[in-house]
Structures are given as structure tokens and as C-alpha cells.
Amino acid sequence: MGVEFKRYTLNDKSEITIRPAFMEDEQKIVELCESVTNEDYISLQATPTPLEIRQVFKFPDYFISLVTEHDGNIVGYGEIKKSPCQKKGELRIYTHKDYRGVGLGTSMMIMLLREATYKGLQKINLMVATENLPAVHLFRKFGFQVYRVTGEDPLLGRRNNAIYMHRILNKETDLQCIQCNQAILCESFLIEK
């Protein structure tokens, strides 16, 4: 199937298009993610590097990715990085500050979760800053549950207030895969040989 082109009208009457991310979008995706991660309340996530974004296109079997366009500009980016066994995924979503609170995140989540279900993923994890209440609300609305909350990290000497959430898409499958957990830690399965 793959992410399809879909048009939505947001709550502010803006017409957006959600579509697959293409290699030509790489620089615009990096710029959007940089603008989002430079905001104080989202500083937990590092900006994806061009190399990380390039992995989306080099290893398409391990990613579900989409962009949202408005008037030819990329105003949203979402991805789910799949584990080597293709059962679990890590969700990241970035929305331009001018498009928050109007349904953009909701539209992107609908598309990402639909595709994840179609691709057979059984569990989606994510991390969000505790201060980012609109995002926490969005994820809860889509059935994500909190499984861990962290506070100040004395080793790093900075606050790392994060909420870790997950959503089970298919309860019938065993999600314990030691090989996947080890591969995800070093991301060795996404290195070109």
C-alpha cells in the first residue's frame, strides 16, 4: 500500500496535503525539524541529521514516513522507524509552530497509525517532553499510554523531563525480540555494508 496522497481541511480552513516523503524533500525536512527542536519545550529530541533523513530513503522497508504540505511548503513531518523484526516502531512527529492546534497533528497521526497497522506493526513507542501538553494530549487521544516518566538527569547536568508512551496495535503477538532490542541500540541494521 504505502502512504498515499490525502487532502485534509484543517480547523482553520487551511488545505493541506499529506503524502509520502521523497528524497527531494530531505533538506526541507531537516529545516522543519531544526525549527521545531530549537523550541524550548521540545528540546528533548535531537534534530534528525541529513544522514538520518537519508536513511528513510535508503532503507524504506524500515520506515513509514510522510510530509504535510501547505502552499508548497513542508509544514509537518512524521516517521515511524521499524525494528528489524518489523513488529515495533519508534514514532517521531514534527509540526511547524504556525500549524499547531488546527488538526495537523491529528491528520498526520491518522495516516501514520493507519499505515503502521497495514504494515503489521504491533507496538509503537514514542518520547515527548512533559511540558509539551498539546502533544501529550494528542498521543493520549490516539490511545498511547504512559509507561515511564523521567526527571532531572544528574549525569548530564540538565533536566530531561520526558514521558515515554506506547500503543499496542495487536495484542496477540509476543513483542520480546532480543535481537531487535540489540540492533535498535546500535542501529547496526541501518548501516550500509
CATH number at residue 64: 3.40.630.30
pLDDT at 7: 92
DSSP letter for 38, please.
Answer: T
pLDDT at 185: 47
Q: Is 185 a domain residue?
A: yes
pLDDT at 161: 80
Q: Is 1 a domain residue?
A: no
In what order do the strands lie in the sheet containing 6-9?
6-9, 15-20, 63-70, 73-82, 88-95, 123-129, 158-168, 145-153
pLDDT at 154: 56
Compute the distance between CA of residue 94 and CA of residue 19 in angstroms, rounded to an integer: 15
Query: Could you tell me if 79 and 56 are in contact, meaning their C-beta atoms sit under 8 angstroms apart?
Result: yes
- In tens, the pLDDT along 29-88 reads 999 988 887 665 555 666 788 888 999 999 999 999 999 999 999 999 999 999 888 889
Nearest Cα to 69, choosing from 96, 34, 102, 100? 96
pLDDT at 44: 61
- For 172, counting Cβ atoms within 10 Å of its Cβ (0-12 exposed, 13-18 middle, 19+ buried), the class is exposed
- In tens, the pLDDT along 1-30 reads 567 889 989 999 999 999 999 999 999 999
Q: What is the pTM of this model?
A: 0.83
Q: Is 138 a domain residue?
A: yes
Domain that holds residue 176: 6-190
- In tens, the pLDDT along 110-122 reads 999 999 999 999 9
Looking at residue 60, its amino acid is: P
**Is 107's pLDDT higher than 80?**
yes
Compute the distance between CA of residue 150 and CA of residue 159 in angstroms, rounded to an integer: 9
3 state DSSP class of 129: strand
Domains: count for the chain: 1
pLDDT at 171: 66
**Is 184's pLDDT higher than 60?**
no
